Amino acid sequence: MSGFNGLAEKSSGIFSQVLNKTGGLKQAQAIRDKALKPLANATASRIEQSQHAVKSKTQGVQTSAQTANQQSKNQQAVREVCDAILAGQGIGMFAYPKFKRLMEDESLRELVCSKLNLGLENKLTEEEYVKEFPLTRAQYKGYVKVLQACLAGIELSFNTPGSNGLASVFHVLEIAHTHFWIKYAICFVSRLPANAATPKTTGHLVRHACQPETHWKTRPGSEASSSSGAIPPMPPRPPPPRQESIQENSKLAREASIESSSSSSQRTQLEKLRMPLSLPVVSNSASTSPRSIATPMEPTRHYIYQDLILPSPNPLWQNTVFWENAFYDVVGQERDIIGMDQEPSEMIDRYATLSDSERKRLELEEDRLLSTLLHNLTGYMIMCGTGQKAIQQKIRRLLGKSHIGLVCSKTINILLDDLPQQQGNGIPLKPLGSRLVQKQSFTVYAGSNAQGTMMFLEVCDDAVVLRAVTGAVTERWWYERLVNMTYSPKTKVLCLWRRHEDKVHMDKFFTKKCRELYLCMKAAMEKAAARGRVSVEGRDLGGEFPVHDTETNQGGLMQVRIDGIAILFENSQVFIELANIKKCNTYGGNCFVLEEFDRKKGEMVQRRYFSQMADQICYAVLCVFSFVAAGQKNQASPKKLEK
């Protein structure tokens, strides 16, 4: 048996050697790898694709959250830099590269301009110009450095296709145009020494020109000069080499002699003109050398554009396409702030219902917005050194594209015909239209408590504007569309009824300043009505509505008339005078509640009627009340004028 096992082992060893020599095992492994490798690769690729899809989804969610978080961090960093600049600390050497990268974002550039522009809080009128604001030397240096980073970001945005806007260039150049620091200069004026070869009188005047007033009184011959008010004549001689200084000293002597006999007010004025004794006097050791006295000159204004634009001319200022793009962007920004692009179809419908005078007013407002931007654009192009021919050509083209009327285009043409010859800020800037809108803003919450969405309610001249926390306009309600307005001082809730698409909608807002908001809206609506912006012409007053009485379970017809409300049933009818109606509202959407004062019983009576047109009934009643109140007010105003 053992011999048989040994023979089997020898045979297997011989067989394996034969296979190794012939390469059979390697061929088998190669065939197996060739057959299974594609399947393994396909399986691995599917697993990788599925994992990549899962990762991409999670990364997409993380990216949106991270982007919002990063944007808030960037805004906070920008605010800190602006606060440091306003405090005179400037921006650090290591923080400047990061800040410069942040200025590639248009929203962050606007944030910087809103923080650094000191003229945003000033309320100006259409006839006024933008005021100029002084800075300290430390603030001035920080302003220049920050605005240089803004201009670098603007240039990058212009050269990058699909950038996020160039409107900030108007605000950057406005700061450079209006902000300055006061620069004091000291010059050295030569004075002749006392022992120079000059006449005695003149030498005496030079010696005592900067001395106190008592020396003039003790000087011989001062009484005669002070009484007569004239200085002794100089003997004829050739003019000395420093005649200008002698003449200046003689003027000082004349002023000093007049001062001895003048009033105290004239003395104070002369002290301002004379050399202060505290200024340093530099004199040489030699007795024959002239003296140099440091004299303060009149302070000069050094504007930001002189260090921002003049030292290194940028080829961007000569590119008219850049100015045109910036103009379009700032026009869109201004229209968005004012609300001209909000719900254009509604604005067109409102424009069709306005009177001719109101239409003309709206057209002038839009023309004024465009002409103001063109005026400021001209001033910026002059300040940046753009050629006059290029300015006139580009501004006139934009004037034609804007379709501005003759009233506003005339001022632009007059400006273009008389452009300054030198580069600078000689053209004063006009305030933007968004800053002229006189509005009051209130923080409100949608609903009846503070748990609702926080919004900003702005009371304007002819409408109420609702803005989100981001600043975007969400709603705008014209005063002529508002039906009624009430508030509750206990719950601090303001209720507004407005008409939209032939239906009456009620909106509730919770605010801590409920009474102030109500009075502000009331005053604005009264002013709009006095100007004729809210008209009741063309409105259908009253109407007939089917109702169902909840007490008698009868159906009938309710007639809303100018003198009251008539309710007609099959076997009876009720008439309620307008003076007896105390309150009307809707309940549940299909129930109209009416409260009247019964003069016979001396008590309040409440009536309830079911109707699918309950909101329209309430709107009709409120329109009648508004019409009667407006008529009574118009009748009372002529009587006051007669008195």
Looking up tokens 């949106």 gives: 64
pLDDT digits (tens, 9 = 90+) for 505-520: 788 899 988 888 888 8
Quick check: 61 pLDDT over 70? no
pLDDT digits (tens, 9 = 90+) for 7-17: 445 555 554 55
User: Rounded CA gap, 558 and 152, in Å?
Assistant: 70
User: Rounded CA gap, 467 and 336, in Å?
Assistant: 12
For residue 58, the model assigns a pLDDT of 46
Helix, strand, or coil (residue 238): coil
Q: Are 460 and 437 in contact (CB under 8 A)?
A: yes
Sign of dihedral through CA atoms 395, 399, 402, 406? positive
pLDDT digits (tens, 9 = 90+) for 223-268: 333 333 444 454 454 454 444 444 444 444 444 444 444 444 444 4
Mean pLDDT on 345-367: 78
Quick check: 213 pLDDT over 70? no
Mean pLDDT on 269-292: 41
pLDDT digits (tens, 9 = 90+) for 375-389: 999 999 999 999 999
Tokens of 480: 């002529």
For residue 641, the model assigns a pLDDT of 42
DSSP 449-507: STTS-EEEEEE-SSEEEEE-TTS-EEEEEEGGGEEEEEEETTTTEEEEEEEETTEEEEE
Q: Are 246 and 198 in contact (CB under 8 A)?
A: yes
Structure-model confidence comparison of residues 371 and 279, the more confident one: 371
DSSP 148-213: HHHHHHHHHHHHSTT-S--THHHHHHHHHHHEEEEE--EEEEEE--TTSSS-HHHHHHHHTTTS-H
pLDDT digits (tens, 9 = 90+) for 558-608: 888 878 888 888 788 888 888 888 888 888 778 888 888 888 888 888 889
Give the best-scoring range by mean pLDDT among 67-71, 123-127, 179-183, 586-590. Answer: 179-183
In 501-627, the DSSP E strands lie at 503-510, 543-549, 555-560, 564-568, 573-577, 581-587, 591-598, 603-610
Which amino acid is it at 546? Answer: P
Structure-model confidence comparison of residues 530 and 233, the more confident one: 530
User: Rounded CA gap, 317 and 151, in Å?
Assistant: 11
Phi, psi of 460 (to 5 degrees): -105, -170
pLDDT digits (tens, 9 = 90+) for 294-321: 455 667 889 999 999 998 888 999 999 9
User: Rounded CA gap, 557 and 536, in Å?
Assistant: 26
For residue 57, the model assigns a pLDDT of 45
For residue 176, the model assigns a pLDDT of 94
pLDDT digits (tens, 9 = 90+) for 318-350: 999 999 999 999 998 888 887 777 666 777 777
User: Rounded CA gap, 365 and 369, in Å?
Assistant: 6
Binning pLDDT at 50, 70 and 90, where does residue 356 land?
confident
